[in-house]
Structure 1
């Protein structure tokens, strides 16, 4: 994540909303791990609002009935995630449950050395408190994240990353969902665009995706080669600010629930119109979404 600052300045049932519109009500629990790092140990500049992002997201998820684990700064480290927090959720979550992993902080990428077309050319990394971009063994890669989440039995997983280059966790084989031009031209309703993107991923073999679509829905703040931004005008990362707002304003079809595609559509539109368009290309970034043939409910409209 990059900084943009102006001077002075409980369980009731899991709704699986398929693209066909059918709804299945299954008893479930909701779990979340929420990490935010603003003050880093070494190697990267500190951030201003990523801890605030995580605090607000954990509060929202708790209000929404999630059993949420929140870790900030020095507590948001690799050992804590791999050896304590993920095992804690893995020991409780069942197949029918819903799990959300949220991270706000720095992200980056490094070449994998692959040269074959369609192969994964870059590894993406989230920088936890003890990560060091000069020592990638101390960072947490997309592949490590995918592997770490495997022991969590919940079949409904949503990964939300507010960090630079976070779209790389999805891969670049299908990027129609991340193109703001469609919105600018008015060629397609943004919520239909989100549904189409998820539908496309249902037929995607995942060969170039770092988090395969059958493993989790991924909602990312920026494209594979884009920065994401935070701002004193917002007091948050821009992506997270609008994602938090989506919980109360993103119910596009008025059914009382906000799905991942509805949240994506709301954030995409607001971020583009209110942030990227007024500030120009350098500051522009577009959320990305991936997934399978179903669209999970993320929030209850309140």
Structure 2
């Protein structure tokens, strides 16, 4: 689904918006390290606070770079628990992940032949959080308004999380890999989705607020940002699952 120009339910008050933002660049050991995924997370945090008015205390930031690591498997699972404990009916929840993705056969309860997953700091098979496990972790969240953003290889397989009221923006198809760029100093998808699409306002092509002005960062919906990033991300083949009625303003 792409942007319609019509907003769905208005976003809740700032105090009723919650987010978990994860960016893992420094993995255990050195062979699997990334360069800009922690920067992706910082830019997402900036977009939520500076553009969309989220309270900083309502955002849990998990980072693994060369100075700090709080993005282990247990850290991520605990962060989802924190999100669920704080969110009430009608609130908005955001789950953002930028890091390695993987695929394989997992006994995660979804009966898929091939599963996709996100890779925590430990970077071991036993630490992977598979799509079916994520589905179970979010199953009893008390709101239907949830936005997922996955910037990882094989992210297109995260559609297990799809449900009414949810938007899942995925940087790649389930068979494609994602890329970082030293020139952009971001993951390619997040550069166009957040840095350019939201923070620079370039994705604002529809006048949702009716003021006759385009290019406003705080008027960019997730559908507009995704469409802008998809058109710029080439062979990664970004994909979206959108079960939110009309357009969703973060």
Alignment TM-score > 0.5, same fold? yes
Q: Which has the larger radius of gyration?
A: 1
List alignment gaps of at least 5 residues for structure 2.
210-218
The SS at the match of 1:75 is: coil
Contact 1:102 1:159 in 2 (8 A): yes
Change (3 A) 1:26 1:168: closer
Supply the RMSD in Å over aligned alpha carbons.
Answer: 2.4
The separation in 1 between residues aligned to 2:220 and 2:70, in whole angstroms, is 31
| Cα deviations by residue, 1:247-272 (Å, 9 ceiling, x for unpaired) | 1121221224222221111111122x
| Cα deviations by residue, 1:111-169 (Å, 9 ceiling, x for unpaired) | 359xxxxx72211010111231xx3x311111111111234312110110000000011
Contact 1:268 1:286 in 2 (8 A): yes
Answer yes or no: is 1:262 the counterpart of 2:215: no
1:138-149 pair list within 5 angstroms = 138-149=127-138
Q: Which residue of 2 aligns with 1:220?
A: 170
The SS at the match of 1:60 is: helix
The SS at the match of 1:294 is: coil
Change (3 A) 1:229 1:293: same
Runs of 4+ in 1 over 3 A off after TM superposition: 18-28
Answer yes or no: is 1:238 the counterpart of 2:188: yes
Change (3 A) 1:44 1:159: farther
The separation in 2 between residues aligned to 1:151 and 1:24, in whole angstroms, is 21
* TM-score, normalised by the number of residues in structure 2: 0.81
Contact 2:165 2:244 in 1 (8 A): no
Q: Once structures 1 and 2 are overlaid, which stretch shifts more, 37-46 or 119-128? A: 37-46
C-alpha deviation, 1:26, in angstroms: 6.5
Change (3 A) 1:20 1:131: same
The SS at the match of 1:289 is: strand
Answer yes or no: is 1:39 the counterpart of 2:30: no
Contact 2:7 2:249 in 1 (8 A): no
Change (3 A) 1:296 1:97: farther
Answer yes or no: is 1:75 the counterpart of 2:60: no
The separation in 2 between residues aligned to 1:43 and 1:153, in whole angstroms, is 39
* TM-score, normalised by the number of residues in structure 1: 0.68
The separation in 1 between residues aligned to 2:230 and 2:185, in whole angstroms, is 19
The separation in 1 between residues aligned to 2:244 and 2:44, in whole angstroms, is 26
Change (3 A) 1:107 1:215: farther
Q: Once structures 1 and 2 are overlaid, which stretch shifts more, 56-65 or 45-54? A: 56-65
Contact 2:11 2:249 in 1 (8 A): no
Contact 1:34 1:69 in 2 (8 A): yes
The separation in 1 between residues aligned to 2:99 and 2:8, in whole angstroms, is 35
Q: 1:294 aligns with which of 229, 245, 248?
A: 245
Q: Which residue of 2 aligns with 1:154?
A: 143
Q: 1:91 aligns with which of 85, 92, 95?
A: 85
The separation in 2 between residues aligned to 1:246 and 1:76, in whole angstroms, is 26
Change (3 A) 1:157 1:44: farther
